[in-house]
Amino acid sequence: MSATTYARITLLFFVLTGLLMLIGYAIGFYFGDPLTFMLLGLVFAAVLNFATYFWSDKIVVKMARAHIIQEEENPTLFDIVKKVSQEAGIPMPKVGIVNSPMPNAFATGRGPHKAVVVATSGILSTLSPSELEAVIGHEIGHVVHRDVLISSVAATIAGVISYIGNIALWSMMFGGAGRGRQNNGSIVALLLAAVFVPLGATFVQLGISRNFEYNADEYGAKITHNPGALISALEKISSRVNSPYARAATVGSTSASTASLWIVNPIRGHTLMELFSTHPSTKNRINRLRRVAEEMGVYVR
């Protein structure tokens, strides 16, 4: 693992620790013992840092509601993952499927020896075999570059902190006020922490460089020798993600905390997540891929 990857992971862990200690302090301030709750946040952060580093692949797969499959369950997808991983010179990743009509895919894990490549049922019915291979090439690119470790840790961090923020809000609304210190300062502090700490977790994900996506696009185009297929796949996925049908299907099935992992961000609309998306626009990605095609001497429409 490169020094840059270690530095990014360390930064994520420090940010996670700070956010959890902050929300612990706010909860403790509300209940009259900020130091104890802040220390509890520190202990929880240490445990979570350890867990996310070693088991982020399992955590993310569960968060995404993916099912790890065997070859006989979907030979086509399995064979494509095997083919691309062999071309990349890495061990065969585990293969998972998310039962969702929305076409998309992601990779997770600590590195090439602990990788999982996941596709939705929707992408399997939407893309041609060459387009699907190009998408898998993109995801294998993330594995080879070890982007998946940083992305998986960030997704886990965002999910846990958002969950804690929701618990704090509901506790304050139902029953917590009667046991708290009942002064306006403590209530405001808890409310601000419950709202803005999860927002801070979203900005943790924004620490993931958009270059990750550009680099994975280029890798997928080159390893499959078919930039046109990846362009076509991105166009199809983006058009479905932006459709009203896809947005309705997304509700309740895709967590915002895992949105940065997918090849196309599945959370669309006028939201902060969209405004500060970790993904470049599809238009910019396609323009980059056209330049890659020119460098490869490949004609694309």
Catalytic residue numbers, as ranges: 139
- Token pair 């990846």 in the structure block, residue: 230
115 phi and psi angles, rounded to 5 deg? -95, 150
- Show the tokens assigned to 234: 């991105």
- The CA radius of gyration of the chain, in Å to the nearest whole number, is 21
Which amino acid belongs to residue 179? Answer: R
User: DSSP label at 116?
Assistant: E
Contact indicator for 94, 117 with CB cutoff of 8 Å: yes
Q: How far is CA 285 from the centre of its chain?
A: 18
User: DSSP label at 127?
Assistant: S
Half-sphere exposure of residue 61: CA atoms within 13 angstroms, side-chain side: 21
Number of neighbouring beta carbons within 10 Å of residue 92: 15
Which amino acid belongs to residue 162? Answer: S
CA dihedral 178, 180, 181, 187 (to 10 degrees): -100
Query: Cα(31)–Cα(159) distance, rounded to whole angstroms?
Result: 25
Beta-strand relationship, 115-120 and 105-109: antiparallel
